[in-house]
Structure 1
Amino acid sequence: MSGAISNAPGVDTRAPSGLNLSRFRHVATFWPPVLFLALLIMLWAVLSQIGVIPGFLLPAPGAIALEFVTNSEVLMRHASATAFEALAGFTIGNLAAIVGAALLSSMPVLRDAFYPYALISRAVPIVVFTPVVVVLLGRGLPPIIAIVSFAVYFPTFLNMMRGLKSPEPDYYEMLHSYSASPLQRLKMIEFPAAMPYLFAALKISASSAFIAALVTEWIGANTGLGYLVVVSSQYFRLPTMWAAIFTSAALTLTLLAVVHVVEHLLKRYTAASPDVGA
């Protein structure tokens, strides 16, 4: 019966040529969180209006939106400082982690000596190191960038080490039969295999970078969103404080989106590239 229907004359069972199912899947994935956020803001506004949420704890959405309009210049100045600090530390820390993992992956003795301390470092809160670094480097950019670099270094380093050692032994045997050098092994099998591990670490580092920047600004800075949060809370300027918090969240989400887009483009490029040696 189904075969008769599918083969019936005049019945076109093919999907329309202009229909992009992957686009619909992306839209279906995109809209639920947006709708949830809109409903959450509406509920927040209603509860603030009827007095369920006290204004001295959480201002109404309209008050925070007005703060973005009236104090946009102040927010932009502090946001620019935090974004620069986070991006500088994010770049330095991740590059150092990638290079360090690539070097130590070919040095088993040094790798085994350093790896346990890298694991231990993840258990130590970043707040513990912040006052020490501020005392050593003073206030301003150097301690903030140093703390951010430290915060993102070890997650990326550990993930890269796992990724570089993830290829199957058969690949190493094949390259060994061709007398491949360690650099060729790194380029042809180890680094491509480590890409999923790297981007997973970069997504973690994106949020860690801004958290580290904000925490350090609380202690050793006179500018930035973290500094603005502390000062506005001391003077009970809650709309300013929450506007700074939401701005830092928006910056974090922007960096996460950039990492996701780069990962997606890299996947498309590698999928479209011909196999090596084909």
Structure 2
Amino acid sequence: MTGVNGRLGGLVGVVVIVAVWWLASLVLFQGSGAIPTPPSVLAEFLDPRRWTTTLGNAGSTVSSAARGYLWGNLAAIALSVLVLLAPRLERLANQIAIVTYCIPLVAIGPVIVIVAGREDPDGASVVLAGMSVFFTTVVGCLVGLRAAPRTSIDLVRAYGGSAWTVLRKVRVVAALPSLFAALKIAAPAAFLGAILAEYLGSGGDGTLGRALIAAQTQADAPLLWYLALVSGAISGLGYLAVGLLARAVTPWTTDGAIPAGPR
């Protein structure tokens, strides 16, 4: 019953949003056309030629975002494990994570685009996607690794287990819910980082970022809203995919978070 109520509430929310959108486009922005009507945006979705171009552009952007997501998360997990095995490096690791979080991607993006150059046209997209996920995954992984039950750690050590054995047998299992919670948030962030890099000149012409720029330059509001909705849907699918993987890998949790209650 709760699931049915939740879906019904979601449907009502979508209807309200579309109604407010439609009303605003007809009453507040009819003259400027800055907000198109829902039917004009729907017409873009129903155009097969538009979908052919969009799928090609989305493929390039998703590919760059996926590679950045992979390398950024691997680097974050490796750094978290290193901190756990060598606690003296924690201050340095925290500084690295904070720097990647605090540096504005808009400011460093053009530098990375220039450094990547024509030899690696989508290199900046991969780098910015990786930077977008690094801090979130470092925090989630460290929180999870340190959430391991003390009794389990003491038991492994009592049987002569090394720090590496404790990590494999206890800490990794305890870290999975928190890690997947971070990975879910990181999926849309990686996609956003890739699109931002494309805005700054990365990836060539066949990307969603360049398509958004072209629609903005032409003041094509329906196309711009269509591309924005497509980008949001792709980000949502990334979040959903990681969430489904989290449920399969950590069935003892319901939402990828650390379960409440005594350990």
Identify if the C-alpha distance between structure 1 residues 187 and 211 changes in structure 2 by more than 3 Å, giving closer, same or farther.
Answer: same
User: Contact 2:176 / 2:250 at 8 angstroms: preserved in 1?
Assistant: no
SS at match of 2:103: coil
Matched, 1:251 2:202: no
Point out the more displaced range, 138-147 or 231-240: 138-147
Matched, 1:138 2:117: yes
Query: Which structure 1 residue ranges, 5 or more long, are not aligned?
Result: 1-23, 272-278
User: Contact 2:188 / 2:235 at 8 angstroms: preserved in 1?
Assistant: yes
Matched, 1:51 2:48: no
Matched, 1:205 2:186: yes
Which residue number corresponds to residue 42 of structure 2? 65
Which residue number corresponds to residue 6 of structure 2? 29
User: Contact 1:63 / 1:239 at 8 angstroms: preserved in 2?
Assistant: yes
Q: Which amino acid aligns with 1:65?
A: L
Point out the more displaced range, 233-242 or 113-122: 113-122
Matched, 1:41 2:41: no
- The structure number with the bigger radius of gyration is 1
Which residue number corresponds to residue 229 of structure 1? 212
User: Contact 1:104 / 1:111 at 8 angstroms: preserved in 2?
Assistant: yes
User: Structure 1 residue 177: deviation in Å?
Assistant: 0.6
Mapped to 2, the partners of 1:25 and 1:99 lie a distance apart of 40
Alignment match of 1:124 (pick from 89, 103, 110): 103
Identify if the C-alpha distance between structure 1 residues 65 and 270 changes in structure 2 by more than 3 Å, giving closer, same or farther.
Answer: closer
Which residue number corresponds to residue 274 of structure 1? none
Mapped to 1, the partners of 2:20 and 2:92 lie a distance apart of 54
Matched, 1:153 2:134: yes
Mapped to 2, the partners of 1:269 and 1:196 lie a distance apart of 9
Matched, 1:194 2:171: no
Q: Where do 4+ consecutive residues of structure 1 move more than 6 Å?
A: none
Q: Which amino acid aligns with 2:17?
A: L
Which residue number corresponds to residue 163 of structure 1? 144
SS at match of 2:200: helix
User: Structure 1 residue 233: deviation in Å?
Assistant: 0.7
User: Structure 1 residue 160: deviation in Å?
Assistant: 0.8
Point out the more displaced range, 208-217 or 149-158: 149-158
User: Contact 1:217 / 1:223 at 8 angstroms: preserved in 2?
Assistant: no
User: Contact 1:159 / 1:201 at 8 angstroms: preserved in 2?
Assistant: yes
Mapped to 2, the partners of 1:193 and 1:28 lie a distance apart of 33
User: Structure 1 residue 266: deviation in Å?
Assistant: 2.1
Q: Which amino acid aligns with 2:107?
A: V
Identify if the C-alpha distance between structure 1 residues 235 and 270 changes in structure 2 by more than 3 Å, giving closer, same or farther.
Answer: closer
Computed over aligned residues only, the root mean square deviation of the Cα atoms, in angstroms, reads 2.0
User: Structure 1 residue 133: deviation in Å?
Assistant: 0.6
User: Contact 1:93 / 1:148 at 8 angstroms: preserved in 2?
Assistant: yes
Which residue number corresponds to residue 20 of structure 1? none
Mapped to 1, the partners of 2:123 and 2:100 lie a distance apart of 21
User: Structure 1 residue 268: deviation in Å?
Assistant: 2.3
% identical aligned pairs: 24
User: Contact 1:151 / 1:208 at 8 angstroms: preserved in 2?
Assistant: yes
Alignment match of 1:113 (pick from 81, 92, 104): 92
Q: Which amino acid aligns with 1:39?
A: V
User: Structure 1 residue 182: deviation in Å?
Assistant: 2.2
Mapped to 2, the partners of 1:42 and 1:161 lie a distance apart of 44
Q: Can you list the C-alpha shifts for 1:92-130, whole angstroms capped at 9, x where unaligned?
A: 211222233223310112233222331243222222221
User: Structure 1 residue 30: deviation in Å?
Assistant: 2.9
Which residue number corresponds to residue 260 of structure 2? none
Mapped to 1, the partners of 2:59 and 2:91 lie a distance apart of 40
Q: TM-score by structure 2 length?
A: 0.86
Q: Can you list the C-alpha shifts for 1:61-83, whole angstroms capped at 9, x where unaligned?
A: 11111112222212221112111
Q: Which amino acid aligns with 2:112?
A: V
Query: Which structure 2 residue ranges, 5 or more long, are not aligned?
Result: 255-263
